[in-house]
Copies of this chain bind each other. A is one copy, B any other.
Amino acid sequence: MEPGTRQIMEADRVRAPNIRDVARLAGVSYQTVSRVLNNSESIRPSTKQRVIEVIDEIGYRPNQAARALVTSKSRTLGVLTAQTAHYGPATSLRAIEIAAREAGYLISTTSLISSDYDSIVENLEYLMNQAVEGMIVISPQVRVFEAIKQLAIRIPLVTLDSTGRDAPRSLSVDQIAGAKMATRHLIELGHREIVHLAGPQDWIEAEARMRGFLDEIDEADLRTHPPILGDWTAEFGYHAGRELVGYRDFTAVFAANDQMALGLLHAFREAGLDLPRDISVVGFDDIPEARHYWPPLTTVRQDFAEIGRRSIAILLDEIHGDARVDLAQILPELMLRDSTAPFASH
């Protein structure tokens, strides 16, 4: 191509300024500009100053693609999540995003539409194609682990679950402890017939909460019906509640999340029951609305934002090779409100 032609093209589509443009205008070599960009030492303050001025003046932005290409570091972390519209995951995700940005990392999120195996694989492939340096799995489901193993994913991985699975490092609020606290609270109030409205059993959190419930029931030498397996929604809680009022062989319900608890309250009240006198209800999560339900919901609080922040800290540590952040579990907290009351036979 002749020089002339070239110049016309350049004039045509204004090329974004690059490191050499900056260098030329600042009267230094491109390498010096690179050093400024990467905060290298051994650069004279006056030179640095001059370069920075040129950068600001012409609005130069480093080309991330070129950087990624040469360093073979994408500075991107992948997040695999389901149900992001829910308060918990959404809050964690937001904290993750902010923490990642502060550390200079980009987040690439992928939301599972369906939870079948192929879909999970497809989503993981998507993240791998972004050359993510590490991965966080929020609200993990059992099949996700199979897929990760199957794909032989080798990058650092942090999952937000409580079970300490083999492959990845995991972290979360201690779901089992939370469920036990909730259940114990009901037992201490004198309830003996307690129903558990659980989450979908392929969700690790749901499984853990159910385990905590059953353990506590067991320790108190009580009996219980097999838990009802729900889908986290208020709608399901409502229908389960309508079903339950037909039996009345229980005095309290522990729901695996606040939304389902809300559905229960709705159904019970609609059936003319007096809450919490007739039936006590405990939820899980302590979403901001829970304290304004009627009656205000007794529930187990977990700090979703803190989980998000810590997961990033752990992941970055692992990426940088110093796995020193401890995985101490975060303890949840029982929030006592008005949806639970002592059991009084009447």
Interface residues of A (CB under 8 A from B): 16, 61-69, 72, 74, 84-87, 90-91, 93-94, 97-98, 101, 106-111, 113, 126, 128-131, 233-235, 237-238, 259, 262-263, 265-266, 269, 288-289, 291-294, 296
Number of copies: 2
Residues of B within 8 A of A259 (CB): 288-289
30 A-B interface contacts by CB (under 8 A): A61-B129, A61-B131, A63-B131, A64-B131, A65-B65, A65-B67, A65-B74, A68-B68, A69-B69, A84-B90, A84-B93, A85-B87, A87-B87, A90-B90, A94-B111, A97-B109, A97-B110, A98-B111, A98-B113, A101-B126, A107-B109, A233-B288, A234-B288, A235-B292, A266-B292, A266-B293, A266-B294, A269-B294, A289-B289, A293-B294
Q: With A65-B69, A69-B65, A90-B90 as known contacts, state yes or no: A296 contacts B266, CB within 8 Å.
A: yes
CB-nearest residue of chain B to A113:
B98
Given contacts A65-B131, A107-B109, A234-B288, 17 further A-B pairs with CB under 8 A are: A16-B72, A61-B128, A61-B129, A65-B66, A65-B67, A65-B68, A65-B69, A84-B90, A87-B87, A97-B110, A98-B111, A106-B130, A233-B288, A234-B291, A259-B289, A266-B292, A266-B296
Residues of B within 8 A of A266 (CB): 292-294, 296
Of B65, B113, B262, which contacts A292 at CB under 8 A? B262
CA distance A202 to B111 in the complex (A): 30
CB-nearest residue of chain B to A258:
B289
CA distance A265 to B84 in the complex (A): 27
Residues of B within 8 A of A109 (CB): 97, 107, 109
Q: Are B101 and A94 in contact (CB under 8 A)?
A: no
CA distance A206 to B58 in the complex (A): 38
CA distance A91 to B131 in the complex (A): 26
Q: Are A292 and B129 in contact (CB under 8 A)?
A: no
CB-nearest residue of chain B to A261:
B292
Of B101, B237, B265, which contacts A294 at CB under 8 A? B265
Nearest CB of chain B from residue A293's CB, rounded to whole Å = 8
Residues of B within 8 A of A87 (CB): 85, 87
CA distance A126 to B113 in the complex (A): 28
Residues of B within 8 A of A108 (CB): 106-108
CA distance A53 to B126 in the complex (A): 20
Q: Are B90 and A292 in contact (CB under 8 A)?
A: no
Q: Are A97 and B111 in contact (CB under 8 A)?
A: yes
CA distance A129 to B104 in the complex (A): 11
